[in-house]
Amino acid sequence: MKKIALLFVCIVFSFLFVSAENAAPAQKPAAQKTLQWSKKPRFYSTWTAANEYCTNLDEDGHKDWRLPTIDDWRSIVEKCPETATGGKCEISEKNGKLTMDSYNKQDCRGCRKGGTTLGGKGWFWSSSQRPDTDHYWVISLNNARISEAKMNVPYNVFCVR
């Protein structure tokens, strides 16, 4: 009786082992696409000129450049958790929060040592527009502060793909 029980246990474990080996591999989450940023910023462009510049940029054999969204910018913020992706600052195109109702000046003010992985100084355009206005969200590379600006004001531009 013990031999039959032992044989039964061995058969069950063998079946489980073979089933586990033949099971489909666990699905890995889709890797987030890494953004490629243009090498050099263009300085002092209105929003329209900045958007046109990125649309027409041909750099490193790539022609699929665009003006970054405010979420693209927030994804490369360093040393400033308030304005980094998922921080207290609620401004986000992905989350549909681009109105002034979502903007809290305190939460979006940046950090003394904040910045982005690109380094640099100055204010930079995003493609994220405040609804029903001619204002777009901008970011300061000096401190990762997020604000908004009228589209005819000259700011800087980095392109992304």
pTM here?
A: 0.79
Distances (CA, A) of 86 to 9, 90, 94: 51, 8, 11
| pLDDT at res. 36 | 97
Domain map (residue ranges) of the chain:
36-157
Q: For 24-62, write each residue's pLDDT tens digit.
A: 333 333 445 799 999 989 998 999 999 999 999 999 999
Average pLDDT of the residues in 1-10: 46
Q: Is the pLDDT of residue 70 over 60?
A: yes
Q: Is the pLDDT of residue 9 over 60?
A: no
Confidence bin at 2 (pLDDT 50/70/90): low
Helix (H, G, I), strand (E, B) or coil at 51: helix
Q: For 98-156, write each residue's pLDDT tens digit.
A: 999 999 999 999 999 999 999 889 999 999 999 999 999 999 999 999 999 999 999 99
Distances (CA, A) of 143 to 50, 84, 94, 115, 116: 21, 11, 23, 5, 8
Q: Are residues 98 and 138 in contact, defined by beta-carbon separation less than 8 angstroms?
A: no
Range of lowest pLDDT (78-82, 84-88, 91-95, 119-123): 119-123
